[in-house]
Amino acid sequence: MKVTEIPPDRLAALTAGEAETAMLAESLAIDLAALAAASVPQFDAAALDQLRAAGKAGITRRMALLGQLLVERLSEDARAALADHRSDMLRGAACFAVGHLPDLPLTGRLDAVRRFADDPHFGVREWAWLAVRPHIAAAPEAAIAVLSGWTDAPSDRVRRFAVEATRPRGVWSAHLPVLKDRPELGLPILAPLRADPSRYVQDSVANWLNDARKDRPDWVAALVDRWQAETPNPATERIRRRALRLPAK
């Protein structure tokens, strides 16, 4: 669906914070200033003007700005309330608020965003890793050390976050040069998930490795071949084929 094809009553409900988006086109169509005016009474005219002025910026920049304003204008309790809001876009803004919290150690920041990594809505889960990606980019090895402990989480959403947040060439985010040069640093996250039963996780692992393949193709090919030899498993083979972009069997 195109942005212009969204029914007016549907768009009105989304902008009022009364409904969740069902696709990216709906997220792109929402006027974040209008959404904030309807749902964040703590915002004054100056805050809303900042959002309006950023109206033509990319969606990630606008969401990051909204998260920054939440930190600047709302109390901790008010931000916590938005973390449970019906609107996925406001929950997403709460993710970016976590990214903007000052003087928070990386471990604490990742712990704070973990609830959003397990959100039922696909969009919030994407905002969650995007919100903390700059902090991961600033200390990728430290982030991997923390996130490797998430690989045994019961939720496949949380396991997937650990992978997606550290992709060398993450979508809509800055690349991680150290992982492009030395993808083996990601093995504490990737190796435990090489036979993960969830396709959601398998796809993320495969995409991580396909990112790495653009810079280290021989390393990726050798790794996935070794995995399949050591752990012959349909999940591992699916990861291998998708990482190498081979046709599905």
- The answer to whether residue 249 scores a pLDDT higher than 80 is no
Query: What average pLDDT does this structure show over 13-31?
Result: 96
Residue 86 has pLDDT above 90, yes or no: yes
How do residues 95-104 score in pLDDT, each as one tens digit?
999 999 999 9
Average pLDDT over residues 30-34: 97
pLDDT class for 247, splitting at 50, 70, 90?
confident
Residue 51 has pLDDT above 70, yes or no: yes
CB burial readout 75-96, b (16+ within 10 A) else e: eeeebeebbebebbbbbbbbbb
Tens digit of pLDDT for each residue in 152-198? 999 999 999 999 999 999 888 889 999 999 999 999 999 999 999 99
Q: Which of 174, 97, 191, 95 is nearest to 136 (CA)?
A: 174
CA distances from 248 to 18, 90, 116, 189, 196 (A): 41, 38, 32, 25, 18
Calpha distance 87→138 (Å, rounded): 30
pTM: 0.94
Which residue, among 83, 196, 102, has the nearest Cα to 150 in the 3D structure?
196
Confidence (pLDDT) at 211: 97
Task: Give the rounded percent of residues in the chain with a pLDDT score beyond 70.
Answer: 98
Geometric angle at alpha carbon 87, from 114 and 105, rounded to 5°? 25
42 contacts 74 by C-beta, under 8 angstroms: yes
- Report the share of the chain in percent with pLDDT over 90: 94
Residue 123 pLDDT class (50, 70, 90 cuts): very high
Fold (CATH) for 141-249: 1.25.40
Band the pLDDT of 3: cuts 50, 70, 90. Answer: low
pLDDT at residue 212, as a whole number: 97
pLDDT tens digits for range 193-226: 999 999 999 999 999 999 999 999 999 999 999 9
Query: Given pLDDT bands bounded at 50, 70 and 90, which one contains residue 2?
Result: low
With beta carbons less than 8 A apart as the criterion, state whether 16 and 84 touch. Answer: no
Residue 62 above 90 pLDDT?
yes
What is residue 171's predicted lDDT score, i.e. its pLDDT?
82
Statement: residue 1 has pLDDT above 80: no
CA-to-CA dists, residue 222 to 124, 181, 230, 247, angstroms = 35, 16, 12, 18
pLDDT value at position 17? 97
Task: Give start-end residues of each CATH 1.25.40.290 domain in the chain.
Answer: 141-249
- In this predicted structure, the answer to whether residue 133 has a pLDDT above a threshold of 80 is yes
Helix axes 32-39 and 45-53, enclosed angle (nearest 10): 160
